[in-house]
């Protein structure tokens, strides 16, 4: 998927992730959320990913409002969302109670439902929130949080049936668990997977089994979490390194510091190297970058098109920080 006005390989294959627009951890003002989507469209984004999980439907609702406001041509845009969690009223809601990870009232709750009926209901609810008549790709979302065996046995066949019926074009799985992704690719007829946090400049465990498997089976890989939940997101080394949405252990801080030192020596911003590294694997077709502000979208575009000398990749390779030089450089 291209991002921007050029097509120079993986560096331009960006999509917008909308988790932050569901008030992930902190609230995002409505107009700022809409402006973020608007900026992405104006700068050339033509792929957007969302999920019911993000803010108990808030991200989907905001994305739908933004697309209507900007008059986005549906045939110029690809939209993906996810199933597995059905949203329903929370009978235990108390006034002022917020959701665990998202700063939204916990008036709804998530219920795991991998059945054919549950998958179809989740899709129908998402379409209503989005104000769309279809999505292009539908993923099973984080089955490891509930029941992987049931997800593979029930939800994935339900997704394939939706594809066979022409209700979605592509189906897949989104997860940060490599074992789960490998199992799903081996045991189901998938078109793509979202691999979150597992193929990044900081660490590349997905390169050992998942990415070669996907290449061999013709399954596209969408790389998400390429900043490792903030560790690689800053222009300069952060004072407090966040990793897996928590304070990073000393070993990770040390590795992050080495990346910042080496990139600085080559005159390269770490976020630019992070985006372009992930995009440079032949299995990766899209890099998702989450944003909660238009400036973050603008920065992502700049990172994707920044000039990076080959010497940086060689240096990182020789120092054992990456397993392979990204292709197309």
Percent of the chain as helix, strand, coil, to the nearest 5: 45, 20, 40
Q: Assess contact for 327 and 10: CB atoms under 8 A.
A: yes
Give me the helices (H) in 9-133, please: 30-42, 58-70, 116-130
C-alpha closest to that of 195 among 311, 279, 310: 279
Query: Rounded to the nearest 5°, which phi and psi values hold at 184?
Result: -65, -40
User: What is the distance between the alpha carbons of residues 48 and 34, in angstroms, rounded to a whole number?
Assistant: 13
54 classed as catalytic: yes
CA distances from 171 to 2, 36, 106, 112, 209 (A): 20, 27, 29, 18, 21
Show which residues are catalytic. 54
């Amino acid at each position: 998927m291209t991002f921007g006005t050029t097509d120079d390989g993986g560096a331009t294959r960006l999509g917008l992730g909308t988790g932050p627009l569901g008030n992930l951890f902190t609230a995002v003002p409505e107009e700022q959320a809409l402006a973020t989507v608007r900026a992405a469209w104006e700068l050339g984004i033509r792929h957007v990913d969302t999920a019911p999980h993000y803010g108990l439907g808030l991200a989907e609702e905001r994305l739908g409002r933004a697309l209507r406001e900007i008059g986005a041509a549906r045939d110029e845009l690809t939209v993906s969302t996810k199933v597995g969690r059905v949203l329903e009223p929370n009978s235990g809601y108390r006034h002022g109670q917020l959701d665990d990870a998202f700063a939204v009232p916990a008036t709804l709750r998530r219920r795991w439902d991998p059945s054919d009926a549950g998958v179809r209901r989740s899709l129908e609810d998402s379409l209503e929130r989005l104000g769309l008549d279809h999505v292009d790709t539908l993923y099973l979302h984080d089955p490891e949080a509930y029941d992987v065996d049931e997800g593979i046995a029930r939800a994935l066949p339900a997704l394939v049936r939706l594809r066979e019926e022409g209700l979605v074009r592509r189906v897949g799985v989104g997860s940060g668990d490599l074992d789960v992704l490998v199992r799903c690719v081996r045991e189901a007829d998938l078109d793509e997977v979202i691999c979150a946090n597992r193929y990044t400049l900081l660490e590349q465990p997905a390169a050992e089994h998942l990415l070669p498997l996907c290449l061999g089976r013709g399954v596209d890989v969408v790389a998400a979490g390429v900043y490792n939940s903030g560790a690689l997101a800053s222009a300069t080394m952060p004072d407090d390194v966040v990793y897996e949405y928590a304070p990073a252990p000393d070993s990770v801080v040390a590795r992050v510091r080495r990346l910042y030192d080496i990139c600085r020596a080559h005159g390269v911003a770490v976020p630019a190297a992070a985006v372009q590294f992930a995009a440079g694997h032949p299995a990766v077709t899209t890099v998702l970058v989450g944003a909660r502000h238009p400036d973050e979208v603008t920065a992502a575009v700049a990172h994707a098109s920044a000039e990076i000398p080959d010497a940086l990749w060689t240096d990182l390779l020789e120092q054992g920080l990456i397993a392979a030089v990204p292709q197309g450089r």
